[in-house]
Structure 1
């Protein structure tokens, strides 16, 4: 084959059917997890039939999903397969809580690796530079991801001014959509996706406001409405999807912005610490007299 798996998946994401795009999107964003999937488990996660997975693989020139995974080694190297036998053995023979924790741990480790891989991409650097240089940064989060969005906005406010967590109660997003000047938007969302997330991203894009979407690997609409889509794994053999790795990604983004801004950011950090000390104070470590 002239092309490896990754570029073939990229072609399917651009030109395939809705089912093909869903499968390609999941596999591209969860490449490190693909070795641990079966055709049945992949079909269940993407919401298609097992037969559709087979047809998708054959449309790209592979005999089966198993054949695709064999060719995928050229893209990933042998690293994901180093633990595959252990994971298979745990799945087959152990049904205790401890075995589930072992499996979840392996999956979370793979997710952390994926987050750090994202931090090495050109898209990441582009987003970091924009977050550091835009006149204003707006942040939105919906449903359970609202807390992560607030964390990101609060941390960014330590580094630079004009960082705003959008007020969802207003019902119009005028803070960002009616703003003037050079602004950008960061959205946090995971399935089942709030319709507001997609509408806000689409409206911002139409107005020329760059959008960075931080989401899960199942999101198949993000590339249509955002300049960058950072999709993180959220399934770790637990009852509920976990967005914990979104927080890891947040920290890396914040660190990237800090490095991009350079030494001058220290002045703002000291000023904020002094203000906090003046109004509220830190336990056992006053940095300024508390105002009365």
Structure 2
């Protein structure tokens, strides 16, 4: 069993936040959590930028700072110190964390995520994003342990563009792909999330999609060797970091990058969808 990393004492700001955490409003709790997680970067922030990043008003941020005992951002920054000092403190915590087994796994996961840069730098990346953006309808699928990732990606992608749906060959038998005269001529795309243990089923799905003229993008692990034979749009994330199970973190990050890139194809349209979405949900009272 690995030795736990030494406990890092609270910073002065963290101590103030913990002192009031029991009686915070929802907005105040959001600000408090954001301040706690982003203390190292606070010297570069303003009240307006914090408000924008937490989704509250600038007045709410100012009132919360006063509740903590600060008359404004200037006093807050004076207490927490310089950016250089904060960087040293954060680096010290990082080094101590890496001494343990979990720290080693965290570093490997971080390295795997940074390694995604080589994937999105490929010329096929822009072509794949254009394929998804241009499609009149986008299908998403994944199997067993990565099904949850695929479903989450489908929901998030549907926020920034229309006509996205998750499909399961086991549930509907790919009835969604039966040609429709009403939608003849429309472009369709499939995003497949795959890990090698499920390759046999995944390859059949991809082969079927290509036969039906559906463009295919595959988001997969580092052991996938079959997908390239069916589509040039194959992007790999390292998942073997030495944990008991494969790490899905890099795959999730890669899917987040796909969502962001698709939204970036028409940012004004994506922003309109995002701003309209709450009005659709209003009667449900979820937020």
Scaled by the length of structure 2, what TM-score is found?
0.61
Q: Which residue of 2 aligns with 1:137?
A: 138
Among 195, 198, 204, the residue aligned to 1:193: 198
The alignment status of 1:112 with 2:113, answered yes or no, reads yes
Among 242, 245, 261, the residue aligned to 2:266: 261
The alignment status of 1:215 with 2:216, answered yes or no, reads no
Aligned residues of 1:188 and 1:214 also touching (Cα < 8 A) = yes
Alignment of 1:125-274 (within 5 A): 125-176=126-177, 178=179, 180=184, 181-274=186-279
Q: In terms of mean alpha carbon deviation, does 177-186 or 122-131 score higher?
A: 177-186
**In structure 1, C-alpha distance between the alignment counterparts of 2:247 and 2:240, rounded to whole Å:** 6
Q: In terms of mean alpha carbon deviation, does 165-174 or 122-131 score higher?
A: 165-174
Q: Which residue of 2 aligns with 1:286?
A: none
**In structure 1, C-alpha distance between the alignment counterparts of 2:178 and 2:237, rounded to whole Å:** 27
Larger radius of gyration: 2
**In structure 2, C-alpha distance between the alignment counterparts of 1:104 and 1:139, rounded to whole Å:** 29
**In structure 2, C-alpha distance between the alignment counterparts of 1:261 and 1:177, rounded to whole Å:** 29
**In structure 2, C-alpha distance between the alignment counterparts of 1:220 and 1:264, rounded to whole Å:** 36
**In structure 1, C-alpha distance between the alignment counterparts of 2:245 and 2:99, rounded to whole Å:** 18
- Segments of structure 2 that go 5 or more residues without pairing to the other structure are 1-97
SS of the residue corresponding to residue 192 of structure 1 reads helix
**In structure 2, C-alpha distance between the alignment counterparts of 1:109 and 1:242, rounded to whole Å:** 11
- Segments of structure 1 that go 5 or more residues without pairing to the other structure are 1-96, 283-292
**In structure 2, C-alpha distance between the alignment counterparts of 1:162 and 1:132, rounded to whole Å:** 11
**In structure 2, C-alpha distance between the alignment counterparts of 1:195 and 1:262, rounded to whole Å:** 37
SS of the residue corresponding to residue 205 of structure 1 reads helix
Query: C-alpha displacement at 1:263, in angstroms?
Result: 1.1
**In structure 1, C-alpha distance between the alignment counterparts of 2:100 and 2:273, rounded to whole Å:** 47
**In structure 1, C-alpha distance between the alignment counterparts of 2:168 and 2:197, rounded to whole Å:** 21
Aligned residues of 1:138 and 1:186 also touching (Cα < 8 A) = yes
**In structure 2, C-alpha distance between the alignment counterparts of 1:116 and 1:176, rounded to whole Å:** 33
Query: C-alpha displacement at 1:196, in angstroms?
Result: 2.3
Aligned residues of 2:161 and 2:263 also touching (Cα < 8 A) = no
For the aligned residues, what is the CA RMSD? 1.9
Query: C-alpha displacement at 1:132, in angstroms?
Result: 1.4
**In structure 1, C-alpha distance between the alignment counterparts of 2:160 and 2:237, rounded to whole Å:** 24
